[in-house]
Amino acid sequence: MALLFLDTADVNEVREAAQWGILDGVTTNPTLMMRAGTADLKTTTLEIVDIVRGPVSAEVIRTDAAGMIEEAREILSWSEHVFVKIPCTVEGLKAMREISRWPNGRINATLIFSPTQAYLAAKAGATYVSIFVGRMDDAGLDGMEVVRQTRAIFDQYGFPCKVLAASIRHTAHVVGALLAGADILTVPFSVLQQMVRSPFTDVGLERFLADWRKVAG
C-alpha cells in the first residue's frame, strides 16, 4: 500500500490531518518552514514527530558534502523517526554515500527530476527518492513519466529505495502517482482536503438526511 505523507511545516495542519487517521508521515523543507513562520527546525520537527510518530523529513541547508554530513548527523540524532533530506547533486551524492553507512542513516534524496538522478541517489544509499512531479509539469515536462521510469528501474534491478512523489499540485497528480507505482505520496494540506471532497457526496448525504427527517418526523 502506498504511504501518504503531508508536505508541510505547519504543526496545526499536521495535527488536523493526523486526526483523520490516514497520515503516515510528513515532509518539510526550508520554504515550508518559512511559510509556517518558523526558523527553529529542531523544535518544529520534534513537534511533528510527537503528532505523527512516523517518518518526518527535515532538510539540510549546507551545499557542500562535509557541511551536509555535519548537519545530517545533528538532524538524525533528534529522533528515530527523522529522515534527512539531501539534494541530488554531486556533493549530495558524496554526503549520501557517507550517511548511508551510519546505523541511523535515513536519507530522503530530494530535488529529483530524472530517472538517472533517482538511480544515482539509490546507488548512493538513499532510503527515499523524492521526484518533484509538479515542478516538472510547470516546466512543460512529464513528471509522472519520471515516476513510472524510476519505478521500473528500481523493480528491474531490485533497489530497496522507495519512490516518493513530491510537488503534488492537485488530485490528478495523486491518482497519476498511484497508478505510476509510487511507494509514497507527499501532499499539501490543501490537496489532502481536495482528495476527500466531492459535491456528489455532499448532495447524496443531504438527500439521505432529508429522507430520514421525513421518515422520523
Per-residue DSSP letters for 96-163? HHHHTTSTT--EEEEEE-SHHHHHHHHHTT-SEEEEEHHHHHHTT--HHHHHHHHHHHHHHHT--PEE
What is the reported pLDDT for 151? 99
What is the reported pLDDT for 38? 85
What is the reported pLDDT for 216? 75
Question: Which superfamily, per CATH, for 3-216?
Answer: Aldolase class I (3.20.20.70)
Active-site entry in 85, 94, 123, 214: 85
Encode pLDDT of 4-57 as tens digits: 999 999 999 999 999 999 999 999 999 898 888 888 999 999 999 999 999 999
What is the reported pLDDT for 138? 94
Residue spans per domain, the chain? 3-216
Whether 143 and 132 have beta carbons less than 8 Å apart is answered as yes
**Does the reported pTM lie above 0.95?**
no
Low-confidence spans in the chain with pLDDT less than 70? 200, 203, 205, 208-211, 217
**Is 162 designated active site?**
no
